[in-house]
Amino acid sequence: MICERVAEELKERFREARAVVVLTGAGISAESGVPTFRGGGGATVWRGMPVEKIATPEMWRADPVTFWQWYAYRREVIERAEPNAAHRAIAAWERQFERLTVITQNVDGLHQRAGSRKILELHGSLWRVRCLQCGLNMEDRRVPLPEIPPRCPSCGGILRPDVVLFGEVVPETVFSRAVAATAECELFLVVGTSAVVYPAAVLPVLAKQHRAFVIEVNPETTPVTGIADVTILGRAGEILPHFSPEGHGGG
Ligand code: BJW
Ligand code: ZN
């Protein structure tokens, strides 16, 4: 899968690193049965709409029923899904590195379910909802939803998922923590993301600028491939369990 020399170097990097960041995207949950947005070919399309059209505040306002049918479908898929070997490997690294930060673009909560504790959710959570009418923000794990679109228990307004849609700003506190962790890490892993969505896509570049060793794990090449120190073309659940100070470096 990767040559002996690279495997040795990775083993060394994992043994020596104290501050580590893992940036994850939809691909890390693919082996749990959660569909990606863009991986594996063209854009994911829901009823003729690419993700760039449906995951927008304009869509929520114009057609909350279709918008919420998409989110309700994904809540059903994700509720049935289990964290996979990649999520579990990352959770175990918390015990091995002095500082490990997981920065995820995913809204599925599978890192938490695998046992990771220090997680920065750049794009929010599918398991929270908020009401723009009265400001309510609460956890909501109901599957299936009792009505589509779901309504605010406090004022009756139409709820929205507490996720970051296209054109919306990633919460400043979350992003500044992600930038700080990226700037100070020695090892930066990029796992299962097409790395085309900003501002998450700037983080690997920032890591490189701050001289972190950048490792990418993805079955396909991405814009990160050009700047990564090592790209391992493979599935996260098969590769990541090999990465540990005791492991054999992906071999
Ligand atoms: C495997 C695998 C296996 C498969 N193992 N791997 C600067 C430049 C250009 C554009 C912009 C810019 N700044 C802002 C923009 C606009 C926009 C943007 O980036 N557009 C691009 C499409 C060009 N960004 C925004 O709007 C962001 N807001 C923002 O920047 O605010 C400031 C601002 C506002 C207005 C104007 C200007 C600035 C917000 C972005 C929010 C994205 N939201 C979504 C939905 C979240 C909620 C939900 O989930 O429903 O986030 S869209 C969707 O894409 C979701 C994902 O988190 C995100 C990234 O996708 P990801 O995770 O990379 O998944 P895929 O499917 O793309 O890739 C999967 C990968 O896995 C593939 O590579 C596979 O090969 C791989 N894979 N199996 C390992 N087994
Ligand atoms: Zn309300």
Output the CA 19–ligand 1 centroid distance in Å. 25
Point out the ligand 1 atom lying closest to the alpha carbon of residue 167: 26
Domain with residues 1-34+83-123+169-251, CATH architecture: 3-Layer(aba) Sandwich (3.40)
pLDDT digits (tens, 9 = 90+) for 137-188: 999 999 999 999 999 999 999 999 999 999 999 999 999 999 999 999 999 9
Residues in a beta bridge with 154: none
The rounded Å distance from CA 162 to ligand 2 centre is 13
- Residue appearing with tokens 């170097």: 9
- Each domain of the chain, given as residue ranges in start order, spans 1-34+83-123+169-251, 35-80+128-163
Whole-number pLDDT of residue 39: 62
Mention every residue, 6+ apart, whose C-beta is less than 8 A from residue 80. Answer: 33
Q: Which atom of ligand 1 is nearest to the CA of 194?
A: 73
Burial class of residue 218 (count of CB atoms within 10 Å of its CB; 0-12, 13-18, 19+):
buried
> pLDDT grade, residue 251 (50/70/90)?
very low
pLDDT of residue 87: 98
**Is there a contact between 220 and 195 (Cβ–Cβ < 8 Å)?**
no
CATH architecture of 35-80+128-163: 2-Layer Sandwich (3.30)
Residue-wise pLDDT tens digits, 50-93: 899 999 999 999 999 999 999 999 999 999 999 999 999 999 99
Which residue's alpha carbon is nearest to atom 10 within ligand 1? Answer: 198
Q: What is the pLDDT of residues 218-233, one digit of tens each?
A: 999 999 999 999 999 9
Name every protein residue with a CB atom under 6 angstroms from any ligand 1 atom. Answer: 25-27, 30-31, 36-39, 51-52, 55, 105, 107, 123, 163-169, 192-194, 196-199, 217-220, 222, 235-236
Closest by CA to 161, choosing from 68, 78, 76, is: 68
